[in-house]
């Protein structure tokens, strides 16, 4: 018993530091955000804030732009999560092939977008999808491939602007998915593939019946993180479309940022953030219930 207490005493400073940091940077901001959401909050003079109760939350359900932002956020998740997952696992499978050389080079090339600054990437896509013939994509579509009769105003239309946001999100996240699956693929025993070849399984059958089932825990981890990332997306819309045209490309994050830091409706912005946090919690919890208990067994 004394030995156990001594061990706890030795690690107690580290536990205390973790608890303190969690309280300061997680629990307190969370409680403060919920508190602010109940007020017409005044940042300069908090004492002058007016208590509104649940009015900010009622406003969330009656705000038409919130519905548009929720639609765009859900569409972003529905498009980018499968897109990043499919391209990422495909690249991982190709790089993991035995006859492929310069694996380190390919890993570096495909991972570069992940470590690149969001600001640089968004401005690059702004240049690629610029309006008029000055945009590289428009030049290729109109003058090279002749697939369009006139240049497309990509960020001036709701759906084309969303397409640009989806593309930059997929391109930026593929490398991370690739690295995760490369690590998982290297943990799969080669003997399983050799046994499958002896039994006559090749190509797609090997992938569907051996690779994917064994990587199910990694798939759960990747999918949950991609979903959370999609619902927390901010910079690609903030830098490329700025929520336009006419607030039609806002995501939940960009709209609550606009309410809080442009209109100074901090209480309403906090209510939006609380609702978004609950939505992310429900989604991730449901995914963890579905996949979270899986383990790799050989």
Give the mean pLDDT of the chain: 88
Closest CA to 72 of 284, 286, 260, 240: 240
Domain locations in the chain as residue ranges: 53-291
Longest dimension (CA), the chain: 82
Where the chain has pLDDT below 70, the residues are: 1, 203, 290-298
Task: Compute how many other C-beta atoms are within 10 angstroms of the C-beta atom of residue 74.
Answer: 15
Give pLDDT, residue 291.
Answer: 63
Tokens matching residue 196: 């499958």
C-alpha 30: how far from chain center = 21
Domain at 53-291: CATH code: 1.10.3720.10
Give pLDDT, residue 186.
Answer: 81
Give pLDDT, residue 292.
Answer: 55
H/E/C letters for each residue in the chain? CHHHHHHHHHHHHHHHHHHHHHHHHHHHHHHHHHHHCCEECCCCCHHHCEECCCHHHHHHHHCHHHHHHHHHHHHHHHHHHHHHHHHHHHHHHHHCCCCCCCHHHHHHHHHHHHHCCHHHHHHHHHHHCCCHHHCHHHHHHHHHCCCCCCCCCHHHCHHHHHHHHHHHHHHHHHHHHHHHHHHHHHCCCHHHHHHHHHCCCCHHHHHHHHHHHHCHHHHHHHHHHHHHHHHCCCHHHHHHCCCCCCCCCCCHHHHHHHHHHCCCCHHHHHHHHHHHHHHHHHHHHHHHHHHCCCCCCC
Give pLDDT, residue 296.
Answer: 42
Give pLDDT, residue 198.
Answer: 75
* Spatial separation of the C-alpha atoms in residues 284 and 264, rounded to whole Å: 30
What digits encode the pLDDT tens for the residues 214-269? 888 888 889 989 999 999 999 999 999 999 888 999 999 999 999 999 999 999 99
C-alpha 198: how far from chain center = 41
**CA angle (275, 226, 213) in 5-degree steps:** 125
């Amino acid at each position: 018993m004394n030995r156990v207490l001594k061990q706890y005493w030795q690690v107690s400073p580290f536990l205390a530091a973790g608890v303190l940091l969690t309280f300061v940077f997680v629990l307190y901001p969370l409680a403060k955000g919920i508190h602010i959401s109940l007020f017409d909050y005044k940042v300069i003079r908090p004492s002058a804030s007016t208590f509104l109760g649940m009015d900010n939350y009622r406003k969330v359900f009656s705000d038409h732009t919130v519905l548009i932002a929720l639609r765009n956020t859900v569409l972003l998740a529905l498009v980018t999560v499968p897109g990043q997952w499919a391209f990422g696992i495909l690249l991982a499978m190709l790089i993991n092939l035995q006859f492929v050389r310069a694996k380190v080079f390919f890993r570096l090339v495909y991972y570069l977008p992940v470590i690149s600054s969001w600001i640089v990437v968004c401005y690059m896509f702004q240049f690629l999808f610029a309006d008029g013939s000055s945009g590289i994509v428009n030049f290729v579509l109109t003058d090279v491939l002749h697939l369009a009769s006139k240049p497309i105003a990509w960020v001036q239309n709701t759906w084309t602007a969303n397409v640009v946001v989806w593309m930059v999100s997929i391109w930026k996240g593929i490398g991370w998915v690739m690295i995760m699956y490369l690590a998982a693929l290297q943990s799969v025993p080669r003997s399983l593939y050799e046994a499958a070849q002896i039994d006559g399984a090749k190509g797609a059958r090997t992938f569907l019946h051996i690779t994917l089932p064994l990587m199910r825990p990694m798939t759960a981890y990747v999918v949950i993180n991609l979903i959370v990332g999609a619902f927390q997306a901010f910079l690609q819309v903030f830098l490329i479309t700025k929520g336009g045209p006419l607030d039609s490309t806002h995501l939940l994050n960009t709209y609550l940022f606009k309410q809080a830091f442009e209109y100074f409706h901090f209480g309403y912005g906090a209510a939006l953030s609380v609702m978004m946090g609950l939505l992310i919690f429900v989604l991730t919890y449901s995914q963890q219930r579905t996949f979270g208990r899986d383990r790799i067994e050989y």
